[in-house]
Structure 1
Amino acid sequence: MKTDIELQREILSELAWQPSVNPAHIGVTVKSGVVTLTGHVPSYAEKYAAEKAAKGVYGVAAVANELEVKLPGSSQRTDEDVAIAAVNALKSNVLVPSDRIKAIVKDGWVTLEGEVEWQYQKEAAERSVRYLTGVLGVTNAITVKPMLSPTDIKSKIEEAFKRTAEFDARRVTVEVHDNKVTLRGHVRSWLEKEEAERAAWRAPGVRSVDNLIVVTP
């Protein structure tokens, strides 16, 4: 198992390796495998990329992203400008049922509301607005409309796990109650944990996923 110092060093190297991240103003602390990112970045997209890079390092158990987004003068936008850009971005994405989604902007923070049938549509909506100039953060409050019974959802998720090569499906269990999924078990890396959650979200009708899988390198 890696020490906290080793993890810190590898995360800093990974941040420096990513072309979408400038680590000059990012601090990294690690305690018992839990990573905290501090400092500031010039866009929400870079904040998201830094968190994703940290999660991708083998041995990381969790990431607390405390990075602050400080927009440069050239990126400053009014809430009205950001709202208009968000609406246009949602309409231009063929994966997004834009007529079912509403974007609310306050102080640069975008909140997405509405109802869709599939989790990929919810994720696509967030991706549409994540990289817009002037965005300080995104809250995805879109709900996924239930379509299948809990038994059907459980069966489809377990079948998806068996098809996934990224982790050992035998080490993960699935519980479904009222279209809410709970994952339990042990995996070897944070990426495996995330892949299990993504596979669960792909099942139609899933309303939430509680990922209680433990990372044990």
Structure 2
Amino acid sequence: MKTDTQLKNDVTAELKWDNSVNANQIGVEVKDGIVTLSGHVDHYSEKWAAERAVQKVLGVKALAIELDVKLPGSSNRDDSDIALTAKNVLEWTTNWPKDQVKVMVEKGWITLSGQLDYDYQRQLALSSVRNLMGVKGVSNKITLKPFISTSTVKSVIDAALKRRALTDAQEIVVTVDGGKVNLSGVVHSWSEREMVCDSVWNTPGVTEVSDNITVAY
């Protein structure tokens, strides 16, 4: 197990290694495995990248974010301008019906709401607006339509496994509660396990996946 000093050194090194982050503007503190980032960054995308970088470091138990986004003068925009740009970007980069995702902006912070069929659509909406100039943060409150059944999920997994000539789907146990899916059972490789989870996430109506599948080599 890493000491707090070792973990701090690893986190600092990871931030310095990431070219999308200015590590000189970010302070790192570690106590009992909990990492706190402080300071300020020039863009929300940099704050997001810093968070992702820390999550990659082995030994991090939790992450506290105390980073402020202080936009350079040329990057400041009023909320109506950001909202219009975000709305246009969502229409240009996505194929779901117009106005299915709502955009609200307050003091540079975007809130996305609405309802979509797939989790990848929800993530696409987030990534489409995250890097826009003037954005200080994004809250993704888009929900997914819950209209799944155990048989539907099982058939999706079975089809995915058969396409790749992998293990029988009968070895995987699926339970469904609303939009929540619990997976258990046995597969024979990590790639199979990841594929099963990806297949479930791509099923309309899935809002949460609990992966309890074990790998037996």
Check whether TM > 0.5: yes
| Cα pair distance change 1:73/1:6, threshold 3 Å | same
Aligned to 2:124: 124
| Cα distance change, pair 154–27 in 1 and its aligned pair in 2 (3 A) | farther
Matched, 1:110 2:110: yes
CA shift, 1:150, in A, is 4.9
2:36 maps to amino acid: T
Task: Report the CA distance shift for 1:128/1:3 in structure 2 as closer, same or farther (over 3 A).
Answer: same
Residue 180 of structure 2 aligns to which amino acid in structure 1? K
In 2, are the aligned partners of 1:153 and 1:206 still within 8 Å (CA)?
A: no
Letter in 2 for 1:72: P
CA contact (8 A) 1:95 1:121 kept: no
Correspondence 1:135 to 2:135: yes
Q: 1:154 to 1:177 in 2, by over 3 A?
A: farther
Name the structure 2 match of 1:68: 68
SS at match of 2:99: helix
Q: Which has the higher contact order (CA 8 A, sep 6+)?
A: 1
In structure 2, how many angstroms separate the alpha carbons of the residues matched to 1:137 and 1:65?
12
Larger radius of gyration: 2
Tell me the distance in 2 between the aligned counterparts of 1:25 and 1:199: 40
**Are the counterparts in 1 of residues 157 and 196 from structure 2 also a CA contact under 8 Å?**
no
Identity in percent: 48
Residue 127 of structure 1 deviates from its aligned partner by: 0.4
Cα pair distance change 1:92/1:53, threshold 3 Å: same
* Residues 64-213 of structure 1 mapped to structure 2, 5 A cutoff: 64-94=64-94, 97-150=97-150, 152-153=152-153, 176-181=176-181, 201-208=201-208
TM-score when scaled to structure 1? 0.76
Deviation at 1:65, TM superposition (A): 1.8
Inter-partner Cα distance in structure 2 for 1:177 and 1:59 = 33
* Counterpart-to-counterpart distance in 1, 2:107 and 2:9: 35
User: Is the contact made by 2:47 and 2:67 (CA closer than 8 Å) also made in structure 1?
Assistant: yes
Q: Which residue of 2 aligns with 1:16?
A: 16
CA RMSD of aligned residues (A): 3.3
Q: Secondary structure at the match of 2:71?
A: coil
Q: What's the secondary structure of 2:15's corresponding residue? A: helix
| Distance change in 2, residues 1:69/1:198 (3 Å) | farther
Q: How many residues align?
A: 195
Name structure 1 gaps, 5 residues minimum. 161-172, 185-194, 213-217
Report how far residue 83 of structure 1 moved.
0.5
